[in-house]
Structure 1
Amino acid sequence: MKTDFLKGLGLEQDAIDKIMAENGKDIAAEKAKTTKVEGERDNYKSQLETAMESLEKFKDVDPTTMQGEIDNLKQQLKDKDDEYAAKEADRIFSDTIKEAIKTAGGRNEKAVMAMLDMNALKESKNQSEDIKKALETVKESDAYLFGSDEPFKNPVGATGGSGTGGDNFSAIRAAMGLPAEK
């Protein structure tokens, strides 16, 4: 809208200025909307170009080969998981055996473990009971591998130097250079 058009209608200058100001606000709002839409359009164009370039890279890819490679990688991951699970199970089994040997009073874990049928114990359904039974069997056949759990049968008495077994305090006081106690 132009000012000359409004003057031709016979409007006063004050009314024309107000109309033009309001019209300017509407035009500015529409320009802002247009600028926003143009920015979005440019963004979509850029995304489309990037997508087209990415798709161009896959133009010569064979899907069956790609699927075979994906399956191969999945199998490798499964194999690694199985290997880790087996190692963890072996570690837990080994720790269980060692703890049972300590509890049974074994003197040397390696020597006692050499006497056990580890494969049979590993495949056992009730491992803790079978380990205890196997350790009892080894304890009976090779008792030297285990510490003695019976009390000492030869107690040691006083080993005083006087032989009388009498007043030990007097001997101690004399050794320290103190007078005899009265």
Structure 2
Amino acid sequence: MKREELEALGLSKEQIDGTLDMYHKEHDPVQKELDTVKADLTAEQEKVKTHEGTIEGLKKDLEEFKDADVSGMKQKIEDLEKDIKAKEADYQQQIADRDFDDVLKDSINAAHGKNAKAIKALLDVETLKASKNQKEDVAAAIKALSEAEDSKMLFGEAEPNPTGKGDPIGGVGGTGTKPQADSLMSALEEKYKSK
């Protein structure tokens, strides 16, 4: 749904804003959940491919070394199992980090944070990551920052960008410095002509 499509239907700006707000309120969480599920599915598929490759490698090794030392093979299997467990732990940590970053980003946006990087630097991220109730604890930490005297300037509505064609030096709507510059140039030209 695009603003241009709604404008073409003859809706007012307020109606369009209200319609888009409702649309995003319903659509954005579903899209976010879908993206998360897709990422998890891709990761699981990669994990299955890794395991299949490991199994195939073990089968080939077993064929090549059917007369080999069994204890060496057991050691190789143990090493591979440790490697798989390490990769699984790394994968779980990446998912946890991604989920935490999403919670942190959403909480900063909900509190109207102006500079997410500066706000994150003020938080005890490691303690918040270890929390059992991350969402509530992150929200409480951000609320505390938004109320603290030394950090509340990092929160609030973004300052509006000025619109129009005004002269940033002081003139507005055609009364800027261009006519003044032209008259100054004329005066200088006259002065040097008379010399």
Superposition TM-score, scaled by structure 2 size: 0.46
Larger radius of gyration: 1
